[in-house]
């Protein structure tokens, strides 16, 4: 695919094309200095200022959105450079490739502006200013999760805000941490920078929104394999997640905690830790409250011997698994329920009898034609096990 850059841009020393309508001056000397160091193609042909939101016209030329929009708003329906007519309405196509190049340039005003945001975040003592700063950082990071890769100053400032007793400030700081964690390199960096203590504090001591967000951050960080063991070994993390899943401050908190546990249990050592901390019982309790993700936790814990033994001894598990099958749970939930029932009915006569008495055979008959091959296979195998004499 050909990348369209503003090859027809007017060099900064030439007269702007837009003298007939006002163009905002640079906001500060720092921006002016940065502008002079940027390539010519990063400047808008109309304002001669560095572009922050480059868009392409149908003529193939690139302009900053604000400048070309002002041109169009004054009644022009021609390209400022070629003077060719534009379609009605004019099409402004985002030049994503060029915007990425501009934002990655260390001399970009956008880059410098966000550096100043970090400075104000660290220096300000006013919660409202910090909240506004975090909001702007979060907005930037959502579009550029790798924009502050390895930036320990940013991580330190945000973690301090996440310690705040101000609920709104804490939530927004956690949202920024989540945005940072979307970049794989940042995932490792956040754990290495000591962020787990702050996240654990929000999980166990925050309000509902903060607890749910903290669990979501754990899930994101644990998507990198090297982090699974580190997070699982962090004192109190498994205990905190198990507690949030079993006795959480609402359905959302329980669901997010269960998701985090499922992700962490991709590492074998974490399964045993979770079982020892009562994760099986907590997952059953969450499932009873309608959190289907609890069944997925049971499936993850069932991959270790300690987990299988605890699941087999836990009362009410068969009833919950049947509930998931009867109520058309998610594909993942149904797969987990069928596999657990298949294993339990193969190992225990008592569980076999429970499943038969609760109509599992009839349920499985309706699942053998499911479009999901794994569900079909597990349902067929379970029918065979339950129909034996």
Question: pLDDT of 113-139, one tens digit each?
Answer: 656 777 778 777 788 888 988 888 887
Closest CA to 172 of 205, 204, 141: 141
Residue with tokens 């702050």: 198
Contacts 24+ apart (CB under 8 A), 20-27: 20/74, 21/70, 21/71, 21/74, 23/47, 23/49, 23/67
Per-residue pLDDT tens digits for 47-73: 888 887 889 999 999 999 889 999 999
Cα separation, 193 vs 196, in Å, equals 9
Tally of residues, the chain: 389
Phi then psi for 349, rounded to 5 degrees? -65, -35
Percent of the chain as helix, strand, coil, to the nearest 5: 65, 5, 35
Per-residue pLDDT tens digits for 300-356: 999 999 999 999 999 999 999 999 999 878 899 999 999 999 999 999 999 999 999
Our CA angle for 253, 255, 258, nearest 5°, is: 105
Is the separation of the CB atoms in 62 and 82 below 8 Å?
A: no
Q: What is the value of pTM for the model shown?
A: 0.71
Is the separation of the CB atoms in 275 and 306 below 8 Å?
A: yes
4: pLDDT strictly greater than 70: no
One-character DSSP codes across 112-172: HHHHHHHHHHHH---HHHHHHHHHHHHHHHHH-TTTTTT-HHHHHHHHHHHT-S-HHHHHH
| 64 exposure class (CB count in 10 Å sphere: 0-12, 13-18, 19+) | buried
Q: Enumerate helices (H) and strands (E) in the chain, giving the number of each.
A: 22, 3
Q: 380 Cβ partners below 8 Å, 6+ apart?
A: 364, 368
């Amino acid at each position: 695919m050909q990348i369209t850059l503003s090859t027809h841009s007017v060099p900064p020393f030439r007269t702007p094309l837009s003298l007939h309508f006002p163009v905002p001056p640079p906001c500060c000397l720092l921006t002016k200095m940065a502008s002079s160091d940027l390539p010519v193609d990063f400047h808008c042909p109309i304002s001669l200022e560095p572009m922050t939101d480059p868009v392409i016209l149908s003529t193939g030329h690139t302009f900053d959105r604000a400048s070309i929009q002002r041109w169009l708003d004054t009644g022009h329906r021609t390209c400022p450079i070629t003077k060719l007519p534009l379609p009605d309405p004019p099409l402004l196509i985002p030049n994503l490739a060029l915007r990425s190049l501009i934002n990655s340039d260390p001399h970009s005003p956008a880059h410098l502006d966000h550096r100043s945001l970090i400075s104000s975040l660290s220096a300000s003592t006013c919660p409202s200013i910090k909240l506004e700063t975090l909001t702007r950082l979060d907005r930037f990071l959502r579009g550029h999760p790798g924009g502050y890769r390895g930036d320990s100053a940013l991580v330190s400032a945000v973690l301090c805000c996440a310690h705040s007793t101000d609920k709104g400030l804490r939530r927004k700081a956690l949202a920024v941490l989540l945005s940072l964690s979307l970049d794989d390199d940042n995932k490792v960096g956040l754990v290495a920078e000591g962020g787990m203590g702050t996240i654990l504090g929000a999980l166990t001591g925050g309000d509902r929104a903060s607890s749910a967000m903290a669990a979501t951050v754990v899930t994101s960080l644990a998507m990198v394999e090297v982090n699974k063991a580190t997070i699982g070994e962090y004192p109190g993390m498994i205990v905190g997640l198990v507690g949030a899943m079993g006795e959480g401050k609402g359905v959302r908190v329980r669901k997010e905690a269960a998701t985090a546990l499922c992700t962490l249990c991709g590492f074998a050592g974490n399964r045993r830790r979770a079982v020892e901390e009562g994760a099986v019982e907590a997952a059953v309790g969450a499932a009873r409250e309608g959190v289907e993700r609890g069944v997925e936790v049971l499936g993850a814990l069932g991959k270790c011997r300690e987990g299988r033994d605890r699941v087999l001894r836990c009362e009410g598990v068969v009833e919950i698994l049947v509930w998931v099958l009867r109520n058309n749970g998610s594909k993942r939930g149904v797969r987990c329920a069928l596999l657990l029932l298949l294993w339990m009915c193969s190992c225990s006569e008592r569980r076999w009898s429970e499943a038969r008495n609760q109509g599992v055979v009839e349920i499985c008959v309706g699942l053998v034609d499911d479009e999901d091959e794994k569900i079909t296979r597990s349902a067929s195998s379970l029918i065979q096990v339950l129909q034996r004499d």
